[in-house]
Amino acid sequence: MDPRLYRSVLVTGAAGMLGRALAASLRRRGVEPVALPRASFDIADESSVRAAFDRHRPTLVLNCAAHTKVDLCEDEPEKADAINGRAVGTLARACREHGAALVHYSTDFVFDGKSRRPYRPDDPVAPLSAYGRSKLLGERELQARAPERWLLIRTAWVYGPGGMNFPRVIVERGRAGTPLKVVDDETGSPTFTHDLADATLVLLDSGASGTWHVTNAGAVSRFEYARAVLEEFGVRTELTPISTAEWFKIRPKQAIRPAYSVLDVEPFAKQVGRSMRPWREALRDYRSVVEREGFDVAPRNDQ
């Protein structure tokens, strides 16, 4: 670990699932981050960014701030572009001016889902949704205004304590006895925030820069993922597979999601000398965490 890099670490979106996981990973290393939630640091407000940089003089910025409600982005594309897109350029420029490294998180939704193999970092992008387009805009803003050192980490199907996510929805609805219908023609890789946070720091320690794909190992359909969640949490309820086309008849205003969005994580494994653990093992650990602490983790005062 380079102590100069971690001298002043600023975590944006610190009240979210990934922000909390990153703050916890840093503290386990003896690094106390400046953890800023949106309420006190709006990355879409250039004056707020300038003030935070002038006050904290970060050497490393971990940007977890994002508009992540995929379906809502269809109704709020301008807001999505502002937060997920243009604000990233503002952060990148501030990092360049202050000599800080920047880690930014993007998504499997920048791809169109037509591939028959895991997507590589340099594969062509073609987002299908307003959310995906806004995240791609953020990628381009970062690259256009990049500081000397930057990491763009694409990930997928993120879940963890401290927020709403797919496993939590499945468990809560299942425990309420709600019959569940889940699409069986979307395939991806669930990613536990604790693992993504640790992987981020390992990647930084390896001296990496540029674009990387980081997810838990393996791939699964949404339907099989839901079934695994119910099994892990010991929940019994009716679970029925349906097609995306059938789901659109139920929810016609939802965003289009890529049918296949598995990311190629081999470059990451070669860079750091190890692979991410399988998604099912990570899901089991998530269950242990939320059974011990609850789905929502109370934020610290600085989050």
**How many Å apart are CA 286 and CA 295, to the nearest integer?**
9
What is the model's pLDDT at position 177?
A: 93
Query: Please, what sign has the CA dihedral across residues 257, 258, 259, 264?
Result: negative
Amino acid type, 121: P
Asked if residue 299 has pLDDT above 60, the reply is no
- State the catalytic residues: 131
Q: Which of 64, 24, 17, 295 is nearest to 159 (CA)?
A: 17
Yes or no: say if 60 and 99 are a contact pair by the CB < 8 Å rule.
no
What's at 295, amino acid-wise?
A: F
Between strands 191-192 and 158-159, the pairing is parallel
Q: Are 62 and 74 in contact (CB under 8 A)?
A: no
pLDDT of residue 251: 86
pLDDT tens for residues 4-62? 999 999 999 998 999 999 999 999 999 999 998 877 788 999 999 999 999 999 999 99
Tens of pLDDT, residue by residue over 165-220, are 999 999 999 999 999 999 999 999 999 999 999 999 999 999 999 999 999 999 99
pLDDT-derived band at 236 (thresholds 50, 70, 90) equals: very high
pTM (two decimals): 0.93
Q: Helices marked H in the chain — which ranges?
A: 17-28, 46-56, 70-75, 77-80, 87-98, 130-144, 166-175, 193-205, 222-233, 244-250, 266-272, 279-293
At the topology level, CATH places domain 9-293 in Rossmann fold (3.40.50)
Token couple for 17: 């699932």
Q: Which residues pair with 239 in a beta bridge?
A: 180
CA distance 18 to 165: 12
As a whole number of angstroms, the distance between CA 17 and CA 3 comes to 26
**What is residue 297's predicted lDDT score, i.e. its pLDDT?**
58
Q: What percent of the chain has pLDDT over 90?
A: 88
> In this predicted structure, what is the pLDDT of residue 28?
95
